Amino acid sequence: MKSAAAKILLRKQKPDAYTLEIFGPYLRLSAWSIDVAARILSLREAKLHLLPDDSYGNLLAGIRTLCEEITLVPTVPLYVITDHRHATTTLAGVTMMRTETGQEKGIANEISRPELQELISKALWKLFSAARPRAAKKMNTPDIHLELLSADLYELKLDKHRVSDPIGFQARSVELWARLTMVRKQLTTDLRRLLGNDQRIIWMEFTGYAASAITSLKKSSTDKTQQAFVSVGARTTALYKIRGNAVQYSDTMNWGANILTRSIQDNLAVTPEIARELIRRYEERQLSPAVRRKISDILGQELAVLLKGIDAYCRRSKSDSVYISSWDLLPTLIAKPSFQKKIAVKVPITSVEKKFIGENYGYQVKLNGHSKSQFEFDCVALTLASEYSAQQKSELHDLVKKSTRLLSSN
């Protein structure tokens, strides 16, 4: 156990990253230490805030309250991870045909740096123009209210062959895949006003980001099977198909994690606050055997509905496996093979959790006492692990970032 002096020293040290999560009625601000060399994500501090309703004013007030409890250092990046109401992250690609002036014997000229910059700018504009109407519909807002906040290079191909640096190569076509994040302009403006213009803010929509992060695990594989990604929200569950580079939204189930709280509330005739407390104590094994069995039966019935729906979707979409994640809560029994066998789930379900993150990204996640909370950190840990694993800077990535800044300023 660390001494009191060591704990005080840790608090004085500057964190490596902050995360602000906006999911349904919940806000959470956390401070993280990230040891890239040792590949350790360590949670230092976390504050949770429950919003009284979904109004925009209360959202800003909640963010202001959290920032009073955890003072942000402007030089430390803040990752804003939200649901699709405020931001959308999508993986998309486009193929650009080169202008072949001056070519001889049907062979294209070598790609120069100025030409590559122009091709990337045109490709990002095409991707943004195509993705913005779909994002606006998903976020239920006019597309004029959205801005392209970031674009991360996923991969680049010349004549359908993947390359790390295309400069100097000869090719007829350039295929660019990028992860685009679009955000409501008003929210970015208000967040800047709250936090100051010096704060480095990075936006991510978790469902789209996690789905595309999972595809990156398959990128170097020859496995052509189709996977599904399921994101369980507070009110609904989003279903995605993953095949190769493509992440495609398919459907929504009318099932959310709030159902668990409401079911406990109705069956035991208790208030929502007591229902949430019972679930927390159930997860921490702080209930008597009789009460625990009762809670387990109630949760089991509701989770069976979710898993049967997921299983039916996977068979309908011909998915060979499924990744499942929830910011809110999914009790541990959902990951038990015995429970899945009990309700005849035929498609393997992999929970996006600390073990998954360690096996696939090589990062150990240390929650330092926060792991007993019903509000787990799987989503944010996956986001950080994926982000820091991909931070091998290259000139090509810098060109994409430069083009994104130029588009965002227009």
Tell me whether the CATH fold assigned to 89-100+109-181+390-408 matches the one assigned to 220-351.
no
Beta strand 173-184 with 146-158 is: antiparallel
pLDDT tens-digit map of 89-108: 887 889 988 875 434 445 56
Output the six-digit token pair for 180. Answer: 């685009």
Range scoring the smallest mean pLDDT among 253-267, 283-297, 313-327, 363-377: 363-377
Question: 174, exposed or middle or buried, with CB in 10 Å at 0-12, 13-18, 19+?
Answer: buried
pLDDT at residue number 3: 46
pLDDT tens-digit map of 195-204: 887 778 888 7
CA distance 226 to 259: 29
Output the six-digit token pair for 292. Answer: 């625990």
Res. 240: pLDDT tops 50: yes
> What integer is the mean pLDDT of 255-270?
89
Mean pLDDT of the chain: 78
In the CATH hierarchy, which fold is given to the domain comprising 89-100+109-181+390-408? Dna Ligase; domain 1 (3.30.1490)
Res. 315: pLDDT tops 50: yes
CA distance 404 to 374: 38
pLDDT at residue number 207: 65
pLDDT at residue number 16: 92
Predicted TM-score (pTM) of this structure = 0.70
Res. 367: pLDDT tops 70: yes
N-terminal to C-terminal alpha carbon distance within the chain: 53
Q: Which of 54-58, 338-342, 379-383, 398-402 has the highest mean pLDDT?
A: 54-58
pLDDT tens-digit map of 16-27: 999 998 876 778
> What integer is the mean pLDDT of 283-305?
88
- Tell me the domain boundaries of the chain: 89-100+109-181+390-408, 220-351
> What integer is the mean pLDDT of 367-390?
67
In this structure, CATH architecture of domain 220-351: 2-Layer Sandwich (3.30)
Contact (CB, 8 A) for 313 and 9: no
